[in-house]
Structure 1
Amino acid sequence: MLNDEAGTLAASVVLPTYARPAKLSACLEGLARLKLDAPFEVVVVDDGSPEPVAPVVEAFSDRLTVRCLRQANAGPARARNHGAAAARGRWLAFTDDDCEPEPGWLLALVRALEAQPDALVGGATVNAVGDNIYADTAQDLVSFLYEHAKVKAADGEGFDFFTSNNMACAKASFTALGGFDETFPLAAGEDRDFGLRFKASGGPLLFEPKAVMRHHHDMSLSRFVRQQRNYGRGAFHLRARASEKGGGKVPFEGVRFYSGMLSYPFRHRSPKPLARAVLLGLSQAAMVAGFAQEAVQRRGGGGGVV
Structure 2
Amino acid sequence: MQTVGAASYQVIVVDDGSVDDTPQIVARYPVTFIRQEHVGPGAARNRGAQLALGDLLLFTDADCEPLPDWIEQMRVPFADPTIAGAKGVYRTRQRSLVARFVQAEHEEKYDRLAREGEIDFVDTYAAAYRRSVFLAFGGFNTRFLRNQDQEFSFRLAEAGHKMVFVPQAAVYHRHVTTVRRYAWRKVRTGRWKVRVHALHPSKAIRDSYTPWSQKLQIVLLPLILISLVAAFAGLLPWFLPLTLVLAGFLSVIPLMRKAVRQG
Deviation at 1:132, TM superposition (A): 1.8
Q: Which residue of 2 aligns with 1:91?
A: 56
Q: Which residue of 2 aligns with 1:263?
A: 254
Find 2:26's aligned residue among 57, 64, 69: 57
Deviation at 1:143, TM superposition (A): 2.1
CA–CA distance in structure 2, aligned partners of residues 92 and 218 of structure 1 = 27
Q: Which residue of 2 aligns with 1:171?
A: 131
CA contact (8 A) 1:98 1:217 kept: no
Range moving further from structure 2, 256-265 or 88-97: 256-265
Deviation at 1:210, TM superposition (A): 1.7
The total of aligned residue pairs comes to 222
CA–CA distance in structure 2, aligned partners of residues 87 and 43 of structure 1 = 8
Q: Which residue of 2 aligns with 1:100?
A: 65
Residue 137, structure 1, aligned to residue 101, structure 2: yes
Report matched runs for 1:1-306 at 5 Å. 33-37=1-5, 39-51=8-20, 53-61=22-30, 66-116=31-81, 118-128=83-93, 130-151=94-115, 153=116, 158-186=118-146, 189-242=147-200, 248-252=201-205, 257-258=212-213, 262-267=253-258, 269-271=261-263
CA contact (8 A) 2:104 2:262 kept: no
CA–CA distance in structure 2, aligned partners of residues 261 and 145 of structure 1 = 13
Letter in 2 for 1:164: T
What is the RMSD computed on CA atoms of the aligned residues?
A: 2.3
Could you say if the C-alpha distance between residues 39 and 150 of structure 1 is closer, same or farther in structure 2, counting changes exceeding 3 Å? closer
Deviation at 1:260, TM superposition (A): 7.3
CA–CA distance in structure 1, aligned partners of residues 122 and 204 of structure 2 = 18
Q: Which has the higher contact order (CA 8 A, sep 6+)?
A: 2
CA–CA distance in structure 2, aligned partners of residues 49 and 120 of structure 1 = 29
CA contact (8 A) 2:113 2:165 kept: no
Which residues of structure 2 form unaligned runs of 5+?
214-249
TM-score where L is the length of structure 1: 0.66
Deviation at 1:42, TM superposition (A): 0.8
CA contact (8 A) 1:117 1:169 kept: no
Which residues of structure 1 form unaligned runs of 5+?
1-32, 243-247, 272-306
CA–CA distance in structure 2, aligned partners of residues 53 and 233 of structure 1 = 30
Larger Rg: 2
Q: Which residue of 1 aligns with 2:224?
A: none
